[in-house]
Chains A and B, each alone.
Chain A
Amino acid sequence: MRGPRATVERLDQPSAYFNNRNKRRRFDNKDQRDGDDDTNMQNDQPEEDPLKDAATIYVGNLSFYTTEEQVYELFSKCGEIKRLVMGLDRFTKTPCGFCFVEYYTHQDALDCMKYIGGTKLDERVIRTDLDPGFTEGRQYGRGKSGGQVRDEYREDYDEGRGGLGRAIQPSRRDREANNYDDDHGRLR
């Protein structure tokens, strides 16, 4: 799309996640990112790149405690934000560590990939990915317990994301809570 392959990799490319998703979904319908809307996936046309003009960014690895205002402050550095949708736990309706940032222009979204993805917000390295656009329903976690799938079986203690994975939490909670790594998260 921009002439010959650059001599260094570009950071504003969609992740492998997105590229492989369409392929994968054929045999594994459950393996989608949290908040993916099933209905808009029915009639995919592989020739049309859904990210061609994408102005939305999926943001991952946020702390559950990070507020909209913090996201606003950081992501506005790439352009005015049109809309911000926080990812919520399906059951408790509390933040569960991701969000969608929608800009007014595609260029702002690309710049966000280049300059903000992989930097820190609230002292966590956050992940950004180009996204075809938010649709209702995608704001909720798809894990069994209501949060993101990745937080179900997570074996490391991540204080900013509710400690251990929820599916393994009850059995280990007592043991682990005493020796977590302090500078990972914070108490509020």
Chain B
Amino acid sequence: MADYDRRGGGSHNPKKRRFRDDDEHDRRGPRRRFDAPPHVRVRKQLIAIAENPMRPWHEEVQSIATLFTDNWEDELLRGNFVDLVLQLAVEQPLKTPFVAAVVLLANTTRPEVVDLLLAKIVALVEEKIGSGEWRDVKLYLKLLGCLQNCLDGEGVFPVLEELFARAVDLQTASSEDTIGTEIVKIILLTLPYVMAAAPGQWVQKAADLMEKTEIIASEPQTLQALIEPYQPEGEEPNPPQSQSLIGLLQSQLQNEANNGWALSCLPRPWDLPIEEVEQRSKLDDATKHALPTITIPEAVVAGPRPLFPEIYFSVYANQEVESVPPLNNVAASLIRDALVDTINVLHFNRNITARHLIDLDCYFSPRTFAARATPFDKLREIGPNKSTWKPEDVAVDAVFSQLFQLPTPEQKLVYYHSVLTESCKLAPAAIAPSLGRAIRYLYRNTPRLDLELSSRFMDWFAHHLSNFGFTWKWTEWVDDVFLPDAHPHKAFIAGSLDKEIRLSFAQRIKNTLPEPYKALISPEKEKDMPDFKFANDDTPFAAEGREIAGLLKRKAEDEEIDAIIQRIQSQAIDREIDALVASTDVFVTCVLRVGSKSLSHVLAAIERTKDRLADAGAASDAARAQIITATMAYWSAHPGVALSIIEKLLNYSILTPETVITWALVSRAGNTRGEALSIAHIYEMVFNTVIKVTGRVRQLVVKPSSPDDADETETRDREIKSMRNLFAAIEDALASWATGSKDEMIEASEGEGNSEGEKLVRQWGARWLRVFRRRAAIEEAFLVEAEKERARKAAEVKQNGDAPQAMDAEAEIQ
């Protein structure tokens, strides 16, 4: 495809490119004067449709449609147009109604275009259903829904009914089915677009369909309890649950049906002004087209992403003035759905994502929102029949709904960070105050927020601040600095400061803080290198420690080190302490000391000593645990460094995942009477370890393999077993903290057991437990699906005996 519309002109610029050229110099020279060919202009205009708020929709869609139909003879244009319409539908979903309007208008003069489009879209829908790419199915159906008025007969309804029939089959077959609910969600989200496109005509049809979906939509979903964003409050037997997205949607649509399908937020760019009588009647009389039958395969698949129930999450709930659509309004779901699709689809250009979010009021009907950047305080002054919905709040809410999606959002968490960063850069005055209110809401709710989400919040918060000069109004939380360390608010502050320091350095962060906070940053954090405890003669084995460090530094022979280790061990025996633990502590501390200059130094030091470290670790459980103790102690001021080192030690198998779990949840937690559970980096360490293990198991179970490769099967089964053991160990350790039955807690409480501190520890235990129980359940679900998939493939291979082809298919899925 020729890039006529690209800047730069293609010729080689003799001037050397230098840093900042793009920003500071416009090297393009005078604009070339030529009219781009029609296919280029149509492409450009269609892609940018509705972006300009100053241009009336009806004018814009008419002019594109005319440009297209006037140049119908241009083959390049004709071919590209349909493809572009379909591509826009799945790449920029906010623009679908506008693109549809262009098609509707083109239909008045060139009805052939709709036939071309329908043929292609039907094939695409079938393909996407086949591969289980349900979002694409939804987005194509949305486009079809907007075209309802130019479709023959009942238009999209037969497809929706067919889909529903399949959903019913799935739901009756298994109560744990998630595909059926996904299909119902798609139906419910398509319906409003149909009703807006063809007002008044399909009320009965819609009512019939919704009567049917009711049963599935209102049914509580099996896994919903797992993905609740808030920790259920301990004693209540049936804690109130957030609403499932699909249940909410069903009731919102019911409201809308009772309201005569007003759907006031949806844009209707095909509604031409009254004065355009001629065009209006042309639209009404335009050719209707039969929608070719869409065949839905007997067996539908879940697709590349495991499906989970979804929950409607908002950080702007229960405010005195509504700054986002209320839960009973269908606009909440429709706007959220379009924004979430936009966010997840456009992961490859966060700048454009942010642009769409900032411009979101361009894509919904006028007066859906209050004016951009209206301060929250001013919303109160808005008149009675006007919208108080802040577009920035709606946008930020949508990003947070993804950042806080359980079990995992579609894209990496850092993508959502980057979207918020870019939005904030594009429109700081509008977005920053909305983010501030979101942060306050989350901070307030941090004690009851799911621990995994709380940790995501902390990670985002520190990363976000690092992009904006680390400025935050810390003064408003200043009272919380004096709370006990195990209080969730205090723990959040401590964890965030640590994360900020990791991205910057202690002195810098200290300078951003009000006085009371500064005490939270110990002087050790400002040292370039931690103290070497063996430099002090009072430390046991000080001489030996210094000697080993010296030997390591000059890369001495193993035998020399051996001799000293022996000496330490025999001294330890004399002092009646564990000899292996003592020598491991000295050796590991020395390795860390030698590598203290940077991570590469320590990695090189570990690489050189990995055999001795592995031997030390293999000698006893206590010695292995001591490797962690020594690392955490040496880097206590910079836990981030310690965690990176532990990760590498896991890679070398010097440590095992069990060592990490036991160290954190039994020893460390035990030594601190459970307070260690409130420390962010302890959670991070355990969480990362679990992710490492589950990631490896996932890799193994989806790996395409010949069914009778005994070796692979054995490895897989072994890894699965050890993963289950790991989860069991976590469950074991945490359950006693959550119930307060841990020995250390009973001892400390002297029979009482209800002090503030113990209550906090029990809460932490319960929050941890929830996170890892969910992880375990999700991995089990993954194993079940993977097993099914393997069985299916094995059957396939057997059936057609055509191994190479089957291998190809597997490679694609990878």
Contacts and interface: CB of A to CB of B under 8 A. Distances in A.
Q: Does A associate with B in a complex?
A: yes
Interface of A: 4-12, 16-17, 31, 67-70, 72-74, 76-78, 80, 84-86, 111, 114-116, 119-123, 150, 154, 183, 186, 188
Contact of B641 (A6, A69, A77, A120): A69
Most buried by A among B1, B88, B499, B641: B641
Contact of A31 (B16, B600, B644): B16
Contact of A10 (B88, B348, B598): B348
B532 to A, nearest CB: 19
Contacts of A8: 47, 91-92, 346, 348-349, 352
B344 to A, nearest CB: 13
A115 B599 contact: no
Contacts of B413: 77
Contacts of A119: 418, 421, 467
Given A67-B598, A73-B640, A84-B599, A7 B350 contact: no
Nearest to A61: B19
Interface stretch (B479-487, B501-509, B617-625, B766-774): B501-509
Contacts of A12: 348
Q: Which 6 A-B pairs have the closest CB atoms?
A: A77-B414, A73-B502, A8-B352, A10-B348, A115-B418, A68-B598
A77 B412 contact: yes
A73 B503 contact: yes
B348 A4 contact: no
B415 A115 contact: yes
Contacts of B469: 123, 183
Contacts of A31: 16
Given A31-B16, A73-B640, A77-B463, A7 B47 contact: yes
B662 to A, nearest CB: 23
B417 A115 contact: yes
B80 to A, nearest CB: 9
Given A9-B349, A72-B640, A77-B412, 6 more contacts: A4-B1, A8-B348, A12-B348, A67-B598, A115-B414, A119-B467
A91 to B, nearest CB: 19
A67 B501 CA distance: 12
Point out which of B348, B599, B640 has the most chain A C-beta atoms below 10 A from its C-beta. B348
B463 A7 contact: no
Interface in B638-659: 638, 640-641, 644, 647
B87 A4 contact: yes
Max chain B CB contacts within 10 Å: which of A7, A16, A85, A121? A7
A180 B505 CA distance: 22
6 contacts: A7-B91, A11-B349, A67-B598, A72-B644, A77-B413, A116-B418
A80 B647 contact: yes
B16 A84 contact: no
B658 to A, nearest CB: 20
Interface in B84-112: 84, 87-88, 91-92
Contacts, number: 107
Interface in B1-33: 1, 16-19
A143 to B, nearest CB: 13
Contacts of B796: none
B47 A116 contact: no
A150 B19 contact: yes
A79 B661 CA distance: 22
Nearest to B86: A4
Nearest to A187: B507
A69 B415 CA distance: 21
B83 interface: yes
Contacts of B92: 7-8
A6 B415 CA distance: 19
B289 interface: no
Contacts of A120: 466-467
Contacts of A86: 598, 600
Contact of B502 (A7, A70, A116): A70
Given A4-B83, A11-B349, A68 B414 contact: no
Contact of B508 (A7, A69, A186): A186
A9 B508 CA distance: 36
A6 B598 contact: no
A6 B347 CA distance: 12
Contacts of B638: 69
Contact of A69 (B421, B502, B507): B502
A115 B412 contact: yes
Nearest to B600: A68
A4 B120 CA distance: 15
A153 B325 CA distance: 55
Interface in B331-354: 346-352
Contacts of A76: 644
A116 B349 contact: no
A72 to B, nearest CB: 6
Chain B CB within 10 Å, residue with most, of A10, A73, A74, A116? A73
Interface in B446-481: 463, 466-467, 469
Contacts of B415: 111, 114-115
Contacts of B88: 7
Contact of B350 (A4, A67, A84, A115): A115
Contacts of B598: 67-69, 86
Contacts of B640: 69, 72-73
Contacts of B91: 6-8
Given A6-B91, A68-B600, A119-B421, A74 B503 contact: yes
A111 B503 contact: no
A112 to B, nearest CB: 9
Contacts of A150: 18-19
A11 B312 CA distance: 30
Contact of A7 (B84, B467, B507): B84
A188 to B, nearest CB: 8
A5 B1 contact: yes
A10 B353 CA distance: 12
A68 B644 CA distance: 11
B784 to A, nearest CB: 25
A115 to B, nearest CB: 5
Contacts of B347: 114
A77 B350 CA distance: 16
Contact of B349 (A10, A73, A122): A10
B599 A68 contact: yes
A67 B412 CA distance: 24
Contacts of A188: 505, 507
Nearest to A154: B19
Nearest to A112: B414
B759 to A, nearest CB: 34
B746 to A, nearest CB: 39
B599 A69 contact: yes
B470 to A, nearest CB: 8
Nearest to B80: A4
A68 B601 CA distance: 10
Interface in B400-454: 412-415, 417-418, 421
B166 to A, nearest CB: 28
A186 B508 CA distance: 9
A25 to B, nearest CB: 14
A18 to B, nearest CB: 12
Contacts of B641: 69
B737 to A, nearest CB: 28
Given A72-B644, A84-B599, A154-B19, A7 B412 contact: no
